[in-house]
A = this chain, B = another copy of it.
């Protein structure tokens, strides 16, 4: 009558008049079981449509085979690429990927991280929310020795594995490129400075100015949360300065685009009057017109690396931490290419 009870190893054992232990061992390829017995057991298991109950196995093994991943927004190309990379590697290694989004809210991030902990993920891969400033929820993972990997937005004060891109270098190269293109007053639209990524991009920018002997004018640097609206506002603000910039390095592609649209509507020619560079290589940056120069971050690869790293930690109990810095790629497109140097592509 109760058709929805799945067969268990006990059912298989009963069928064959052997013990459940033997069935379990046979199915797990334990060398203590003879080949003949194994084959017999596997045949019966198949015929009964047996599927191991991972819940039970997980409980017994104190291992969930689950990797948690927390991102600010699933629905953003960079993040979904990372997720895709994590899934790719995790799936092949037999792990499930449990996903949650913080919506860039510290409060939700804390909730999620606790929930992931309670749900006994074997490891957590996370890019922290913009707002997060207290990290006790993550320290919990460190304290309990549950592998934790940061990607992109890492927390400097927590010692663990990190996969980041070289944001400093990215900011540096963008700025150097703009200088090479002959721009003289280069502004920067930066993201929240509590996030290392944005902090580094800005410092790369400053360093490039310095190395080129360009005066660093703080009034040309704005900090906000880099939404589309922020981009428009920033454009207004920067262009109403006494001495406005002739190039703007934007903290992401979204603001680069909104800023560009605003400027174009105001009659500025891009890149002739104003050069613009974004960051992240969002899919649209390549296809808008003018196409937006930007820094490509290898999202998929970051996800793969993060998954590889965390699985190694889960399985080997390694206790040494590494920070993998992936190279960025400067993609020069129309929005900053005045043809002043040969490095365009």
A binding-site residues for B, Cβ under 8 Å: 4, 51-56, 58-59, 64, 66, 73-77, 80-81, 83-84, 87-88, 91, 96-101, 112, 114-115, 117-120, 144-145, 257, 261, 282-284, 287-289, 300
Q: Enumerate 20 A-B pairs (CB-CB under 8 Å) in ascending A order.
A: A51-B117, A53-B59, A54-B118, A55-B58, A55-B64, A56-B59, A59-B59, A66-B98, A73-B84, A75-B80, A75-B81, A75-B300, A77-B77, A77-B80, A87-B100, A91-B115, A96-B115, A98-B98, A287-B287, A289-B289
The 5 A-B residue pairs with the shortest CB-CB distance in the complex, in nearest-first order: A289-B289, A284-B284, A80-B80, A75-B84, A74-B84
Kindly provide the distance from the CB of A341 to the nearest chain B CB, expressed in whole angstroms: 26
The reply to whether B74 and A87 contact each other, CB–CB distance below 8 Å, is yes
Known: A283-B283, A287-B288, A288-B288. A101 touches B74 (CB 8 A): no
Q: Which residues of B contact A117 (CB under 8 A)?
A: 51
Q: How many copies does the complex hold?
A: 2
Kindly provide the distance from the CB of A90 to the nearest chain B CB, expressed in whole angstroms: 9
Kindly provide the distance from the CB of A61 to the nearest chain B CB, expressed in whole angstroms: 9
| Other-chain residue from B52, B53, B83, B284 in contact with A74 (beta carbon distance below 8 A) | B83
17 A-B pairs besides A73-B84, A284-B284, A289-B289 with CB distance below 8 A are A51-B114, A54-B118, A54-B119, A54-B120, A55-B120, A59-B59, A66-B98, A75-B83, A83-B99, A91-B112, A96-B98, A96-B100, A97-B99, A98-B99, A283-B283, A284-B288, A287-B288
